[in-house]
């Protein structure tokens, strides 16, 4: 009986400590919101950081590369790009961009990670549950090992696990990864599905839109004009 009581007390204390640890981590994340560096207005005085971007193929990749090209290369000490396993073009586009060339000239590393897609076109919703879990685990591993200071996202479904993983590790590992979401230029009156989820779940430190109508509709969205 005494052993059972001791076990229950130890379990309760352990649970309280874990909840306190996780709660303090989330408090740190929420408390720093609104105080992070805006990469879109970085200057020569900006601190170099480990950057990460997610390339979503097609138009998303084109917009992300335009966004990167608008930034000074010295903002990043290194850049990690993430592409989907079935995307055969995004990596080539990135490596031929002005931004990649600027990184190379300064001797700064550019790494590319490949992750499984959460869902392929035409894939059943049932099987997509398992592929989404696999993609999420792969995304968490990339964020865990690359330790980015800033993650830039612009709308593809592939970006969601990276936003969530960054928030998770900020809370559990006391990191300070900044998640910056830039909604697609094509979204003029309504957010994309990824944008809605990231906005409503508060997964981004800064949430930028390129059309004023969206900023008027969503209080926490920041209008920056056309950036990509």
Query: Domain boundaries in the chain?
Result: 1-31, 35-223
pLDDT tier, 1 (very low <50, low <70, confident <90, very high otherwise): low
In the CATH scheme, what is the code of domain 35-223? Answer: 3.40.50.2000
pTM of the model: 0.77
Q: Over 70: is that where the pLDDT of 94 sits?
A: yes
Of 153, 154, 157, whose CA–CA distance to 135 is shortest?
157
Residue 47: predicted pLDDT? 56
34-56 exposure pattern, b = at least 16 Cβ within 10 A, e = fewer: eebbebbebeeebeebbbbbbbb
Mean residue pLDDT of the chain comes to: 81
Residue 213: predicted pLDDT? 96
Q: What is the pLDDT of residues 38-90, one digit of tens each?
A: 444 443 344 578 999 999 888 899 999 999 998 887 788 899 999 988 888 99
Report the range of poorest mean pLDDT among 98-107, 119-128, 169-178, 218-227.
119-128
Residue 124: predicted pLDDT? 78
What is the distance between the alpha carbons of residues 108 and 42, in angstroms, rounded to a whole number?
18
Of 64, 72, 139, whose CA–CA distance to 106 is shortest?
72
Task: Return phi, psi of residue 227, to 5°.
Answer: -120, -15
Residue 121: predicted pLDDT? 64
Interval 144-156 mean pLDDT: 93
């Amino acid at each position: 009986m005494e052993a059972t009581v001791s076990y229950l007390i130890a379990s309760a204390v352990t649970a309280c400590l874990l909840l306190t640890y996780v709660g303090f981590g989330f408090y740190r994340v929420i408390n720093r919101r609104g105080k992070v560096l805006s990469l879109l207005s970085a200057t020569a005085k900006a601190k170099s950081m480990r950057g990460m971007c997610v390339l979503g193929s097609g138009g998303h990749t084109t917009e992300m590369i335009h966004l990167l090209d608008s930034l000074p290369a010295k903002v990043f000490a290194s850049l990690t790009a993430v592409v989907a396993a079935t995307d055969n073009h995004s990596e080539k586009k990135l490596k031929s961009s002005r931004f990649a060339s600027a990184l190379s000239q300064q001797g700064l590393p550019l790494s590319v990670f490949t992750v499984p897609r959460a869902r392929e076109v035409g894939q059943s919703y049932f099987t997509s549950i398992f592929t989404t879990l696999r993609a999420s685990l792969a995304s968490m591993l990339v964020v865990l090992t690359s330790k980015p200071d800033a993650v830039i996202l612009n709308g593809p479904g592939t970006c969601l696990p990276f936003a969530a993983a960054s928030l998770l590790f900020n809370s559990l590992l006391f990191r300070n990864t900044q998640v910056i979401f830039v909604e697609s230029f094509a979204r003029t009156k309504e957010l994309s599905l990824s944008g809605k989820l990231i906005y409503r779940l508060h997964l981004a430190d800064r949430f930028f839109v390129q059309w004023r109508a969206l900023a008027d509709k969503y209080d926490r969205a920041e209008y920056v004009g056309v950036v990509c």
